Amino acid sequence: MLVGRSHEQARLAALVEAARDGTGGALVLRGDPGIGKTALLDWVAALPTTTLPDATLVLRAAGAEFEADLPFAGLTQLLRPVLDRLDRLPGPQRTALATAFGLEPPTGARDPAQPVDRLLVGLAVLSLLADGEPDRSSPEPRPEVRSSLKPRPEVVVCLVDDAQWLDSVSADALLFAARRLGAEGIAIVFAARDGAFPAPGVPSLELQGLADADAVRLLQPGLAQTVQLRQLALAHGNPLALLTGGAPPAAFRDQVAALPAGTRAALLLAAADDSGELGPVLRLASAEDLRPAEEARLVEVGDGRIRFRHPLVRAAVYNGAALAERVAAHRALAGELTGAGSADRHAWHRAAAATGPDDEVAALLEASADTARARGGYSAAAAACERAAELSTDPKARARRLLLAAENGLHAGAHGAAVRLAERAAGFDDDPAFLARVGAVEGMAWFWQGDFRAAYDLIAYGGHHRNALHPAWYLGEPTIGECLDRLAEATDDPVARYIVAAARGRPLPPVADRRTAHDPAVAPRDLVELCGFGFVAGQDSETHELAAALTTRCRAEGLAGLLPTLLFYLAEAELFAGRHRDAAVSVHEGLALARDAGQALWVGQLSAVRAVLHALAGDDDECRSAAADALAATAPGAEPAGYAWTQWALALHDLGRGRPEAAVPRLAALQADPYAHQVVAYRSIPDLVEAAVRAGRDPEADPAVARLAAFADRTAQPWAQSLVHRCRALRSGDEHEFLIALKLPSRPFERARTELLYGEWLRRARRKSDARPLLQQALETFDRLSARPWSARARTELEATGLPSAAARPEPAAARLTPQELQIARLAAQGLSNKDIAAQLFLSPKTVAYHLYKAYPKLGVTARTDLAALPL
């Protein structure tokens, strides 16, 4: 029975009951050692069948300090009972988990420059846990009978103790799954110490000390009142301290010290290994040695496992032993763990037993790092390489291993550690080629931390000019020009040739010469840069096709980590083409993936595009909120990568709300360094011209018009030339310029804006009958695109021509759906099953089914087969 935890018990029971009803959720219990986190997990596991139905599967794992550097140790422990479901996962997910767990070898040699996709492992974990209910594909029953036909899903309860000691890949995968729980019957509860285990997006529950009225119930009966008061004062409501009469860190020290020497030695073996496997312990000790510890309820033994009653018991055993005893225990375990499946643990026990440099052990750790890296365990690989460097006697070997540690830290997202390790590596080897590698690694680490100047200098020093383009892009001229000069020398690189030609306004290589997005010999990562510079070249349609093809390939191959970048480019192309709803779908998915992957740069960029879309739709609060998210997505002291897009969004918001004077300074700033070369600077020029003219600041627009005209001439794109003529019409009042602008092919939204501006000009010239058809056409387009500020402006202008107020167009079916509902409905309309859709969108099939269930009444349909006939 738990004392004084009714609030926490109610919260946990509600979480599990929600999972039973088909709404998954997660929670992190936080608190000091001994505060009762483990006891609450035990309580959840023992909930009666009134809360946990017979089909409930309870999975448990506990982080272990010694295993924090062993990749997938936590996941292996948690998922062992459900690995028989592995073959039911989609191919890339099954391969990712099978490789992670060492059930099959990695596919090909693993190049550190091509990291394993951590998001795919997280999706595979979610799919594995959510596999209790079969996929329900078309046809589906009517809504009024669907609930009675829905089978009772299996409830899965995952309990993870000491989460602060989980290995990083296990923690990342479980947090990915926890954040994406929706319609799954899954509850995940983590327990972690205060200040450890960051879990953004997952609710936390802080455990406080017990009130005195509850605390006194845990004291030993018969204590004198003065003793009771003293113990209550010392315990501060900590249940473990109350039960043992001592402070939590020392709660079990006396109990352990009182055990026989043989028992303490056996417990030290279990504490040193910390894997929970009983076999190695019993091969070095005996079951009889463990019996006194079992009788004292310090450990539980059974089913081939040994589990300490509390993590503090293990700490008391391990920290209470002398150094020589700990070294001997690790050495004995290393001698016992010599099989092929124990190579990593063997290496780490050898390292723990090492008291000085040891090249043999260093080589074993480097081999362990290679294995971890091939399985996607980059944090583990970094730790193994760093420890191997410490044990190396040769300075160059130490330098090489420190740089390997830095490379793996970079892929693990530990950018600060990567800088530290790279700088240490440079101190042991001054070979120029080696220092160039150091610069490349350290530079990329600074790039992801937002220090673009340091990143550029280091990467360029190493001669990696295509990579140097990334930070140069945010530094502007003359840095980007210098980088392009160097890149121009790489004549054997077709991607480099295209980038230089696009940026310099030279004749472009034919699109057919680009390496195809579906060529298996070409990594998608190597083609991503073409998308960004395709916009620089004005090749929006071709860029959309390339980004869409790369997105399709990355979905098929499970390369989720690249999708935020590609979805940003896809959203950009859709926005420029006037497909605002499609852009919102891409942004929604890209943002979720970028947040899961910890890609702050793309969180900022995608949030900024989202702000632009909200500005066009007239969603004032959402625009400001998305802009704030974009500006916050950066390291302290660094300029946000999405700053330019954010300024465009806020300027569009001002322009749409009739505040042109507020929009001008934001838009004018984009025409100066370091933003003038960026795509958004050119695409926002028509808005600057309109804002300047409406604010009576016409001359400020002239340099920008000249820049746009040069861009249109360079790219020879009709839509760009149409915009130039519109801008000239606004500046000169020449009607002929409006007519040319409308005669040239242009995008729907921009054409409607030209019609609106021309219609306004005609009305002011008292040519109301000429203005009406233009304004009506503009209004229809704005209504269709849900561009409400521009719809309101067009409607006002129409009324000023003498027409009665036009009723708003009925909202299209697609506009009634959330971006995710629309994306899922479109795929379902193509005939894809829930399982196929889930694999593409990195969701579970149950979440897909849930979103379809929500979409049907909004669309006025009752079955999946009805979707194909809708204009989605």
Task: Give the pLDDT score at 312.
Answer: 82
Task: Give the pLDDT score at 510.
Answer: 53
- pTM comes to 0.85
Q: Could you report the per-residue pLDDT of 343-372, keeping only the tens digit for each?
A: 999 999 999 999 999 999 999 999 999 988
Residue 400 has pLDDT above 70, yes or no: yes
The CB-side HSE value for 662 (13 A sphere, CA atoms) comes to: 12
Mean pLDDT of 841-845: 84
3-state SS track over 669-684: HCCCCCCCCCHHHHHC
Task: Give the pLDDT score at 758.
Answer: 97
Task: Give the pLDDT score at 808.
Answer: 67
349 versus 845: the higher-pLDDT residue is 349
Residue 456 has pLDDT above 50, yes or no: yes
Q: Report CA-CA distances (Å) from 585 to 582, 680, 767.
A: 5, 20, 41
Tokens at 111, concatenated: 């190049």
Question: DSSP for 237-250?
Answer: T-HHHHHHTS-GGG
Task: Give the pLDDT score at 681.
Answer: 95
Q: Could you report the per-residue pLDDT of 549-570, keeping only the tens digit for each?
A: 999 888 888 788 889 999 999 9
Task: Give the pLDDT score at 136.
Answer: 38
Task: Give the pLDDT score at 503.
Answer: 84
Question: DSSP for 255-310?
Answer: HHHTS-HHHHHHHHHHHHH-S-BSHHHHHHS-HHHHHHHHHTTSEEEETTEEEESS
Q: Could you report the per-residue pLDDT of 15-30, keeping only the tens digit for each?
A: 999 998 888 999 999 9
Residue 341 has what DSSP assignment? G
Average pLDDT, whole number, for the chain?
Answer: 88
Residue 204 has what DSSP assignment? E
Count CB atoms within 10 A of the CB of residue 555: 17
Residue 81 has pLDDT above 80, yes or no: yes
Q: Which of 210-224, 264-278, 562-576, 806-820 has the lowest mean pLDDT?
A: 806-820
Which candidate, 576, 579, 564, 548, places its Cα nearest to that of 679?
Answer: 576
Task: Give the pLDDT score at 251.
Answer: 66
Task: Give the pLDDT score at 246.
Answer: 64
Mean pLDDT of 99-114: 63
Residue 99 has pLDDT above 90, yes or no: no
Residue 37 has pLDDT above 80, yes or no: yes
Residue 115 carries which side chain, given as an amino acid letter? P
Residue 541 has pLDDT above 80, yes or no: yes
Residue 112 has pLDDT above 50, yes or no: no
3-state SS track over 741-796: HHHCCCCHHHHHHHHHHHHHHHHHCCCHHHHHHHHHHHHHHHHHCCCHHHHHHHHH
Give 150's contacts (C-beta < 8 A, 6+ positions apart).
none
Q: Report CA-CA distances (Å) from 848 to 150, 516, 581.
A: 15, 31, 20
Q: Could you report the per-residue pLDDT of 499-539, keeping only the tens digit for each?
A: 888 888 777 765 434 456 777 777 788 788 888 888 998 99
Confidence category of residue 131, pLDDT binned at 50, 70, 90: confident
Task: Give the pLDDT score at 564.
Answer: 93
Task: Give the neighbor-by-neighbor strand order of the sheet with 57-62.
Answer: 57-62, 156-161, 186-193, 25-31, 204-206
Mean pLDDT of 738-744: 97
Task: Give the pLDDT score at 609.
Answer: 98
Mean pLDDT of 642-649: 96
Q: Which of 324-333, 488-497, 856-865 has the lowest mean pLDDT?
A: 488-497
Contact (Cβ atoms closer than 8 angstroms) between residue 552 and residue 723: no
Residue 704 has pLDDT above 90, yes or no: yes
Interatomic CA distance for residues 462 and 434, integer angstroms: 9
Task: Give the pLDDT score at 805.
Answer: 63
**Which residue, chain included where needed, has tokens 């539980």?**
300
Q: Which of 38-42, 350-354, 507-511, 640-644 has the lowest mean pLDDT?
A: 507-511
* Residue 157 phi, psi dihedral angles, 5° rounding: -115, 120
620 versus 520: the higher-pLDDT residue is 620
Residue 421 has pLDDT above 70, yes or no: yes
Mean pLDDT of 294-314: 88
Mean pLDDT of 211-227: 84
Alpha carbon 94 to its chain centroid, in Å, reads 20
Task: Give the pLDDT score at 398.
Answer: 97
Mean pLDDT of 145-166: 70
Mean pLDDT of 702-718: 94
The DSSP bridge partners found for residue 277 are 305
Interatomic CA distance for residues 379 and 391, integer angstroms: 19
Task: Give the pLDDT score at 69.
Answer: 83
Q: Could you report the per-residue pLDDT of 761-820, keeping only the tens digit for each?
A: 999 999 999 999 999 999 999 999 999 999 999 999 999 998 876 666 677 777 889 999
Task: Give the pLDDT score at 147.
Answer: 37
Mean pLDDT of 738-746: 96
Task: Give the pLDDT score at 137.
Answer: 39
Tokens at 505, concatenated: 């306004």
